[in-house]
């Protein structure tokens, strides 16, 4: 699987949780083989807890399943 496919597989696992809260998350692009730019939509895009979700849910899952991604940038 490509890097993007592996990241999207992780996001597919997270997406139901995000969607339960009225939002969604997509991979926008990767950079330098170590950064993932994620786009959050819906209520998650403006949520004050977005950083908490990224730090407690998204980052740990990506670190486990796609360890070469060390930086997450979100739009």
With CA atoms as reference, report the closest residue to 39 among 13, 61, 62, 15.
Answer: 15
In this prediction, residue 3 has a pLDDT band, given cuts at 50, 70 and 90, of very high
Task: Map out the domains of the chain as residue ranges.
Answer: 3-74
Tell me the pLDDT tens digit for each residue of 5-47: 999 999 999 999 999 989 999 999 999 999 999 999 998 888 8
3-74 is classed CATH 2.40.110.10: no
Return the pLDDT at 37.
96
In this prediction, residue 74 has a pLDDT band, given cuts at 50, 70 and 90, of confident
Tokens of 13: 């696992």
Return the pLDDT at 60.
95
Q: What is the CA radius of gyration of the chain?
A: 11
Report the predicted TM-score, pTM, of the whole model to 2 decimal places: 0.90
């Amino acid at each position: 699987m490509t890097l993007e496919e592996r990241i999207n597989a992780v996001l597919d696992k997270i997406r139901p949780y995000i969607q339960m809260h009225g939002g969604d998350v997509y991979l926008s692009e990767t950079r330098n083989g170590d950064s993932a730019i994620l786009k959050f939509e819906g209520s998650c895009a403006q949520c004050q807890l977005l950083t908490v979700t990224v730090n407690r849910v998204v980052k740990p899952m990506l670190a486990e399943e796609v360890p070469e991604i060390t930086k997450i940038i979100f739009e």
